[in-house]
């Protein structure tokens, strides 16, 4: 888990990476980026179906949940905080996503929302994509033409310390409960929102500027203006 120090979580991650490498036919010691690329290609292939796929996805899901639980038990997650939903967004594919007053959410994410490409999207742990008004406004202050929904997030929020919205925390949004599972990897479709085309400005490797993905724990309804509660 990035930016955390947990022997237990690290061991869970290392074991998962080793199992993924075996399943994907990758070399021992392959980086997470390499494994991610191989996994995305495998998931995009029509040949990747059946029990083997279900087993691999269940392994990844269970391991992520266990790592988050370890961080929570070790007190490495932030204190409870509240913010506000400033925009809910959906599209039939591609960016920007368009604003909605309210959304219904099931285990697959915002009902009616479609990902144009599933290479980096659409997995159970990527059901919801969230971003920060404060980060967006910082980019705009630098002259970049990014706005709410531009980067493909479903939920834009304000009032939360974005460095605290990280893998392991739980969010209550309206009647929806979701666990943040991963940082979103930026893609070339977001180059248009930056004057120099550098979409990696949104990468977690550049600091607390990344969108995050969350798994839906309890489906429900979210309305623009709803309170967001961050729970460790």
179-198 per-position pLDDT tens digit? 998 899 998 999 999 999 99
Please indicate, yes or no, whether residues 180 and 142 belong to a single structural domain of this protein.
Answer: yes
- List the one residue out of 43, 191, 179 whose CA is nearest residue 117: 43
Torsion on CA atoms 74, 75, 76, 82, rounded to nearest 10: 150
The CA-based angle 162-127-156, given to 5 degrees, is 35
Lowest mean pLDDT among 1-15, 33-47, 65-79: 33-47
Same-domain check for residues 96 and 185: yes
pTM: 0.74
| C-alpha to C-alpha distance for 178 and 107, rounded to whole angstroms | 10
- Other CB atoms within a 10 A radius of the CB of residue 97 amount to 25
What residues make up the domain containing 148? Answer: 81-231
The total of other beta-carbon atoms located within 10 Å of residue 11's CB is 13
Structural domain tally of the chain? 2
């Amino acid at each position: 888990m990035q930016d955390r120090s947990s022997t237990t979580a690290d061991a869970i991650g290392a074991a998962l990476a080793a199992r993924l490498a075996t399943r994907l036919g990758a070399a021992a010691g392959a980086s997470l980026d390499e494994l991610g690329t191989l996994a995305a290609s495998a998931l995009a292939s029509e040949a990747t179906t059946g029990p083997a796929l279900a087993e691999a996805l269940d392994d990844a899901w269970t391991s992520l949940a266990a790592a988050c639980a370890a961080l929570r038990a070790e007190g490495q997650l932030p204190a409870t905080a509240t913010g506000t939903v400033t925009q809910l967004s959906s599209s039939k594919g591609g960016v920007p996503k368009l604003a909605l007053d309210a959304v219904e959410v099931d285990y697959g994410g915002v009902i009616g929302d479609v990902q144009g490409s599933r290479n980096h999207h659409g997995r159970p742990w990527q059901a919801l994509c969230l971003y920060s008004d404060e980060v967006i406004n910082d980019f705009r202050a630098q002259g970049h033409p990014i706005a709410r929904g531009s980067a493909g997030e479903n939920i834009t929020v304000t009032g939360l310390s974005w460095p605290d919205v990280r893998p392991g925390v739980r969010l209550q949004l309206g009647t929806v409960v979701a666990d943040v599972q991963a940082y979103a990897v930026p893609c070339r479709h977001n180059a248009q929102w930056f004057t120099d085309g550098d979409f990696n400005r949104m990468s977690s490797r550049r600091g607390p500027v990344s969108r995050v993905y969350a798994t839906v724990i309890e489906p429900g309804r979210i309305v623009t203006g709803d309170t967001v509660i961050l729970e460790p």
